[in-house]
Structure 1
Amino acid sequence: MTRRGFFKWLGIGGLLAAGGTFAVRRANAGNPYYSGPAASNFDGRTFFNPGGAEPRGFTDLLRWQLGGGKEPWPETYPSPFPAARPEPRVNGDGLRVTMVGHATMLVQIAGLNILTDPVWSERVSPFSFAGPYRRNAPGIAFDDLPPIDAVLLTHNHYDHLDLATFDRLVATHDPHIVTPLGNDTIIRQTAPTARVSTGNWGDVVRIGNGTRVHIEPAHHWSARGGSDRRMALWSAFVIGTPAGRIYHVGDTGFHDGINYRAAGDKHGGFRLALLPIGAYEPRWFMQGQHQTPLEAAQGMALCRAAHTVGHHWGTFRLTNEAVEAPLYALEAALQNVGIAPARFQPMRPGQVWDVPPAERS
């Protein structure tokens, strides 16, 4: 069997969905990314979710990968929307979101252009020859991006932290990158001049135009290889602007809604939430780290978001559910929770949404 055939048999897409790692627990003398005092979510070497579930180990990973149950995906899943060509800025009370794909979105608000978890590469993998590949083109061509002021990076899994994309962004736009502790070390491995601000949950970073980025908890984990499990922190973000608050969650388990309630209580609700709705099957393996569309709808209600973008579906196959399963599950979930479908948009690459002010909901 060739090397490529071996990784295809092993199910590299599933490995990446589980965290971009083979999940082997190995002793390590230290943390290669971050050194700091112990905290409520850090034991001096690794980060953790207080009171939460740890990611499953290698035995469970193999049980999932060899257990079958994967629904087929088409080789391509083109978006019905053409690639967008964004305007340079959105000012005043405007809020515009353009979907690039997966968890990558361009958020234009308060005269700022903000990218979330940017990925323009064809694969999200440590390998150039294997791993999840794009089923649709980016919703904005890289060269058509407006000037990028800030980038929010939630964690270091390959479908969120793509070093090739960061290299291009730093060289072309020199954005202010905001990310939780430890991820700056990874970015600077290939982009040493990157302007990066890091922080723990609860920290705040100013990015200009009266806008602050709050680093907030998410129930997830991190890894880039077999020996760095949970050595860089993961997070959600709250973007506080003169035109309203935005809650961005890259990946999260529902965690009994604890983080959603806390975010709503702390910040007083949101004009917009960006919430993941894909990569959630099988539940016995994914429940602690990836939420379902029903949990996303419940989270929208708990955090008191007026509108929501559903992301993390339809671009990279990571888990067992069919490509459009999140759409059907979300439709039922919104009816179950009592949320009007117009308020929760499962966006596709190239789709543009001018989000109404919160008071119109």
Structure 2
Amino acid sequence: MPEKLRNPYYTGPISDHFDGTHFFNPGGDPPRGLRDLLRWQFSGGRARWPRSAPSPFPAARPEERIGGKDLRVTMVGHATLLVQVAGLNILTDPVWSVRTSPFTFTGPRRVVPPGIGFDDLPPIDVVLVTHNHYDHLDLATLKRLQARHAPHIVTPLGNDTIIRRAIPDAKIYRMDWGDRISRWDDLTIDCEPCHHWSARGTRDRRMALWAAFVLTTPAGKIYHIGDTGFHDGINYRTAADRHGGFRLACLPIGAYEPRWFMKSQHQNPDEAVDGMLACKAAHAVGHHFGTVQLTDEAIDAPVDMLKAALADKGVESERFRALRAGEIFDVPEA
């Protein structure tokens, strides 16, 4: 018999989404294999992105704190958002590096500078890391944040091992789907399922968990997804059932072409609008687009498709904002 693979990141009991070595999407689809990857890479369907695409918004200089019932989101770029609520400053999947790659000299390169200069960040209290792909878990940025802010880092099972090896003194809370932590007076974090996968190399596929997060605050509930396939809207409906709807949903809208390859891992803007409605979000911000080219669609395609989807479904455009780097959104009360 072949030797059983060892999981280098996590050891724990078997569950409905962990088989003892690999995590998986219950009733869902695994990532496609090498043959399909090569078929896609050599298909010649990739749109050409510009080498530089500056944001129409200047780099933001955030206020130090936002309190009361206010909720403010500032786009840094790709899946990195600064969420200011209840006197807390929260970063999602922070990436200030030039490339989203294991290498500094090659790999996807950002075409838009960060919408907040690193030195202009307010004090960072909490960092959410949704999974371990390089465009979401950037160890270089996490090291900088640790040195400057020493935030609490919240991440799904297994990702804590990757971060701990690089940052031994980090304050890390690891979570499984269904877990809840309440370590702040005005913030509770729930870990929720999403339909994705993980890998840092060629031999660790699905050995660390991926997740979405729900933030419960006095200003309302926030649903944040770093990456997900739509998966028939199952996880969106479950989130609505568990949490009763949201003031804000932060949803990925990019990296979705070609559909035959990406459908199970990255929803498109049309599906994101369906997800917003299914999870009963009053407002949404779109992210995961227009910063680094990961897939085939043109740089502006996600924004154009989002506008069309909102019009087709009769949803007011102000309710779902595709934020550009440096853009600030003061979310209306639900």
- In 1, the alpha carbon distance for the partners of 2:302 and 2:4 equals 38
SS of 1:115's equivalent? strand
- Taking structure 1 as the reference length, the TM-score comes to 0.91
- Matched with 2:167 is 191
* Alignment counterpart, residue 167 of structure 1, candidates 140, 143, 151: 143
* Alignment counterpart, residue 312 of structure 1, candidates 259, 266, 288: 288
| Residues 10-51 of structure 1: per-residue CA shift (max 9 Å, x gap) | xxxxxxxxxxxxxxxx97631000000101100011100000
* Alignment counterpart, residue 132 of structure 2, candidates 152, 156, 174: 156
- Matched with 1:243 is 219
In the TM superposition, what are the counterparts of 1:112-261 in structure 2 within 5 Å?
112-261=88-237
Q: For the Cα contact (< 8 Å) 1:83–1:140, is it kept in 2?
A: yes
Q: For the Cα contact (< 8 Å) 2:47–2:297, is it kept in 1?
A: yes
- Matched with 1:341 is 317
- Matched with 1:101 is 77
Number of aligned positions between the proteins? 333
Q: For the Cα contact (< 8 Å) 1:178–1:205, is it kept in 2?
A: no
- Matched with 1:65 is 41
* Alignment counterpart, residue 41 of structure 1, candidates 8, 17, 30: 17
TM-superposed deviation, 1:209:
2.7
Residues 27 and 131 from structure 1, CA distance in 2 versus in 1: closer, same or farther, beyond 3 angstroms? farther
- Matched with 1:7 is none
User: Which 4+ stretches in 1 moved above 6 angstroms?
Assistant: none
> Unpaired segments of 5 or more residues in structure 1?
1-25
- Matched with 1:285 is 261
- In 1, the alpha carbon distance for the partners of 2:82 and 2:201 equals 29
- In 2, the alpha carbon distance for the partners of 1:207 and 1:153 equals 17
Q: Percent identity?
A: 65
TM-superposed deviation, 1:232:
0.2
Bigger shift: residues 297-306 or 201-210: 201-210
> Unpaired segments of 5 or more residues in structure 2?
none
TM-superposed deviation, 1:190:
1.3
- In 1, the alpha carbon distance for the partners of 2:235 and 2:314 equals 21
In the TM superposition, what are the counterparts of 1:54-93 in structure 2 within 5 Å?
54-93=30-69
Q: For the Cα contact (< 8 Å) 2:91–2:126, is it kept in 1?
A: yes
TM-superposed deviation, 1:207:
3.9
Matched to 2:315, the amino acid is I
In the TM superposition, what are the counterparts of 1:343-358 in structure 2 within 5 Å?
343-358=319-334
- In 1, the alpha carbon distance for the partners of 2:164 and 2:228 equals 25
SS of 2:235's equivalent? helix
